[in-house]
Amino acid sequence: MSKLVFVTGGVCSSLGKGIAAASIGALLEARGWRVSMIKIDPYLNVDAGTMSPYQHGEVFVTDDGAETDLDLGNYSRFTNSPLSRANSITTGQIYQTVISKEREGRYLGRTVQVIPHITDEIKSQILRIAQNDHTDITIVEIGGTVGDIESVPFLEAQRQLILELGRENCLSVHLTLVPMVGGGELKTKPTQHSVKELLELGIQPDILLCRTKIELDESLRRKISNFTNVPFNSVLSAIDVPLSIYEIPVIYHRQGLDLIVLNKLALPVRDADMEAWNRVVDSLYHPQKTITIVMVGKYVELQDTYKSIDEALVHGGIANGFKLDIVKIDAEKLEKEADPESLLGQADGILIPGGFGQRGIEGMVVAARYARTHKIPYLGICLGMQVMVIEYARNVVGLANANSTEFDPSTENPVISLLADQIDVKNYGGTMRLGKSPSEIIRQDSNIYRAYNQNTILERHRHRYEVSNRYRQKLSEWGLVISALTPDHSLVEACEWSDHPWSVGVQFHPEFQSKPLSPHPLFRAFTQAASERQ
């Protein structure tokens, strides 16, 4: 049975609970401990798969095809925690499970209630991960804000687990806000009230992480300690970082957060190996050069919509010693622009990410054509690969009305379409290719082979439409390089433009496996190609 670390948040949302939880995991791993991460989301959706990016940011996909909250992406980037659908818990999942059990008669006719049946199911799902023999410490992030009615059952489950397992086996970390008001004064009252609400639920926090613009001085930390009953040395500053979230583990390490966690959990203190994280921070502060990557997408006005891609690009820059200036352009704006040069001319590299629906597609086609004809390094991910094929079919092969049946069901040349066995499936999830699966690189003279340097790769998918096999031979005859296929050679997994310095379109999502300590080979190769083009 592993130890449990609960991470909660107060005052307001979006303070960075996910980054705090991931940073704790990174620090514990740096001291040789094995961690598992769990994210609890209090919404009633069963998962994030059908939620709009405008509502919830990106959907992060695990190896087993779970569509989860973007915080699991942070866990993946900061730690080596194995992630699956079991690591993502939602209110919808919990209630669905309990109601299914009730319908099956498994509660023996008893009245089904929030306590104990909902809280017992929450505890059961947490302990399913915590009881893994390969885990020393399980970190559980409870989403939402203390005081929200939606989070109460999860906080009650936390209280019960602390009582049942003992305080030496459970730790409560609470992230709060210490705002700065006029004149630069920091105010501790919101933190005091947040801890008070937590205490009313029966939970005494062991560690306070105080989100603040500047580091808290000793007097403020003592004041917060006195009013919250949290030891002085466990009141830490979660300061705004000037450059990158990858500074946060280093900042927490300097304040001794990992030592406090281990001491409170009565675990041996091993030496910390922070060399890799220090190298990452040093690379961010001392880049050799700056390159500009233009991303043309559907949801560019929202910060978290392409979170994993943004971070994977940063990782590629770290690998090569570059700083990346990521310029995001709304594909619809590009559709209306008479001269694409005015928006795309600044690009050292062009990236088109994934997405669903017709909106903005013609703008993406313009961007793909610009990258191809102006010899700009191009990376197309999922929809970005499909757009690459559509553009090539129209402007090189001569199929003027080529399209995807997703955008034009009656197109005469459906170069992108559903497979025959998908067409009559009504459940959206039923037509998705989800999770990790192998691809075979069939061209060793390709950019994708030079990036991976191996014939078989494993990557995560999340898409519905495929390159139509009716057009594969014709596209190849006109110079489109089909560089990777599924192992049975039935589906296209990657393609490239011939006579182009660097271009790769992939049907999968490589961004989900990139980490700052091990950048993904495609993003490493793409940023290097952009640098050479510059």
| Residues that are catalytic | 382, 509, 511
CB 393 within 8 A of CB 399: yes
Task: For residues 241 and 158, give the distance between their C-alpha atoms in angstroms, rounded to a whole number.
Answer: 30
CB 3 within 8 A of CB 137: yes
CB 61 within 8 A of CB 434: yes
CB 178 within 8 A of CB 217: no
Query: Which residues have a Cβ under 8 Å from the Cβ of 26 and sit 6 or more positions away?
Result: 78, 79, 249, 277
CB 195 within 8 A of CB 14: no
Strand partners of residue 63 = none
Nearest to 209 by CA among 24, 4, 69, 78: 24
Instruction: Report how far apart, in Å, the C-alpha atoms of 287 and of each of 125, 293, 382, 450 are.
Output: 44, 16, 30, 25
CA 73 to chain CA mean position, Å: 3
CB 156 within 8 A of CB 115: yes
Strand 35-41 vs strand 88-90: parallel, antiparallel, or unpaired?
parallel
CB 191 within 8 A of CB 178: yes
Tokens of 527: 């940023």
Write the DSSP symbol of residue 410. Answer: T
Tokens of 148: 């929200």
Please count the other Cβ atoms lying within 10 Å of the Cβ belonging to residue 163. Answer: 11
Q: Which ranges in 211-306 belong to alpha helices (H)?
A: 218-228, 248-254, 257-264, 275-285
Tokens of 42: 């209090």
CB 81 within 8 A of CB 34: no
